[in-house]
Chains A and B, each alone.
Chain A
């Protein structure tokens, strides 16, 4: 079998940023190997002559699929908040969105109580 497609740790960190997933260092090294081998297998598709084939996004191929723009009853907001890890005044509460952690904060952004 040919050598796995090389994937660098920098590429993995880039994908982790896009996908918002924090990996431990040992996970990164295992992933390097796994992703490389899987991507190598997918190179099978490179040699396929797809000519002018129209992409097939999904099999149902229904036109429209939108409902009438008529108000209806949605979920009860209290229901929607029931499972919230933290909520406040009818909102989902999260740690700071705009204000970023200080440069002195740990690399994984953990170490405090979640802000509200």
Chain B
């Protein structure tokens, strides 16, 4: 019997050529999840009956010669902050325990139109606030490459579901790096698209000027197919760009010759893990060998982007999370005797510690007496960061750097130091401030067998160029999946 397909492209080819049937493929995913996910905990909610019913229905259509769409039959994971009507959505938080949405996100509707099969809702850091999935109010997820390590966050469950071989595609969301960093930790290709190119309708809001839904997959071409299925104008998102076009095949297959890549060497002088440094050096050599020109570029200190990001994201979050008040849905503190107490106690009991930290920080930077010094200042720094990137993009096609300073860290390692957790986002936050697209892709493994990722940042509408570069670099070959069935787990400093 042929080995199961490892990419969306191989999967859809096999379905089309009738070498594989959708119900059998979905059953195989579900069986694998049922056996192995107790070790990974990629999912908060699995939908076996729904997935199997949809598989049967799609196979019937294929049997009579129809081809519903480019993702026909493909099992996908949906991050739990993206809404599917009637399917539990928690955003990783107890304050939404029991909540069932009354509508479906545009991105999910479009995946369904393309024939995809959502298998489950993926684990995540609560409300998108975290870089390790350890701030899920339910349980942490683990990195399939090393079960004692984090998969990254906040889209940790989506990344783990892919690296665990449970699904072939996933939707995550990226506000400060939450799709790219887990992709780097788990050996995947992920894209944070141009802000406004993928509708936020149905994405539980964290930082509205920063959030984007992003596709995650094992190859650049798979990532492009997912992006094409979900991108495009949506009148229900008031910041949806009118002219977003899908990525064209020619862009993915374009050569690297005459492409100029900029590297901010000053950023990489200190603070890089030695394995990241050596993998990145090899990555640059490989790009040169396939025809890219590599030059040094100057960008503002990334710590400025991280500071500005955390001020703006937390300010926006303090506003967006005001809606969780126990009145209309989710958790309600049943013993509160007046409305103010209801709000305070519901939120005090329903939000986890990181969420509370960020809401209070956001409240502080917006409060009278601090607004100019923090919030206004951060908005001006945001403008300057974007101008700096615009200046660099005048002379290079894309900027290349490691996605993160280190590979995946161990569970529990950063829980006591929120600031060190925030610095995981050192290289990723700038792309959310500017709104420009950025893609993470695997460039190798560390000495301990953990994936290392690099990031390409491009100007507006450059998704096709970025994924084309990734495709050329990787030659379309995914990082091999780890063997999770036999992986050891230590007793340790983790929350579950």
- List residues of A whose CB falls within 8 A of some B CB: 11-12, 15-16, 18-24, 27, 30-31, 34-35, 37-39, 41-42, 44-46, 48, 50, 53-60, 62, 65-67, 75-76, 79-80, 82-86, 92, 94-97, 99-101, 105, 108-115
Contacts and interface: CB of A to CB of B under 8 A. Distances in A.
B380 A111 contact: no
Contacts of B331: 85
Interface in B351-404: 351, 353, 356-357, 359-361, 363-364, 367, 373-374, 376-384, 386-387
Nearest to B351: A21
B208 A58 contact: yes
A48 to B, nearest CB: 6
Contacts of A67: 235
A109 B340 contact: yes
B99 A83 contact: yes
Contacts of A53: 380-381, 383-384, 387
B419 interface: yes
A78 B131 CA distance: 38
10 contacts: A15-B367, A16-B344, A18-B367, A22-B341, A22-B348, A45-B307, A48-B384, A50-B377, A56-B433, A85-B327
Contacts of B235: 67
A71 to B, nearest CB: 15
A35 B326 contact: no
B409 interface: no
Contact of B381 (A50, A59, A79, A84): A50
Contacts of B418: 34, 37-38
Given A76-B102, A109-B337, 12 more contacts: A15-B360, A15-B364, A19-B363, A21-B348, A22-B347, A44-B303, A53-B387, A55-B382, A60-B241, A80-B102, A82-B100, A95-B337
Interface of B: 98-100, 102-103, 195-196, 208-209, 235, 238-242, 303-304, 307-308, 310-311, 318, 322, 325-345, 347-349, 351, 353, 356-357, 359-361, 363-364, 367, 373-374, 376-384, 386-387, 418-419, 422, 433-436
B195 A45 contact: no
A58 B332 CA distance: 33
B22 to A, nearest CB: 31
Given A21-B356, A109-B345, A45 B334 contact: no
A9 to B, nearest CB: 13
A97 B338 contact: yes
Nearest to A50: B380
Nearest to A7: B364
B304 A95 contact: no
A21 B347 contact: yes
Contact of B304 (A48, A58, A114): A48
Nearest to A110: B335
Given A59-B195, A92-B327, A31 B357 contact: yes
Given A45-B307, A75-B102, A83-B100, A110 B209 contact: no
B103 A75 contact: yes
A16 B360 contact: yes
Given A19-B359, A48-B377, A62 B196 contact: yes
A53 B379 CA distance: 9
B378 A108 contact: no
Contacts of A35: 357, 360-361, 364
A44 B345 CA distance: 35
Given A56-B386, A59-B435, A60-B195, A80 B328 contact: yes
A115 B377 contact: no
A62 B339 CA distance: 38
A59 B339 contact: no
A96 to B, nearest CB: 5
A115 B195 contact: no
Nearest to B343: A20
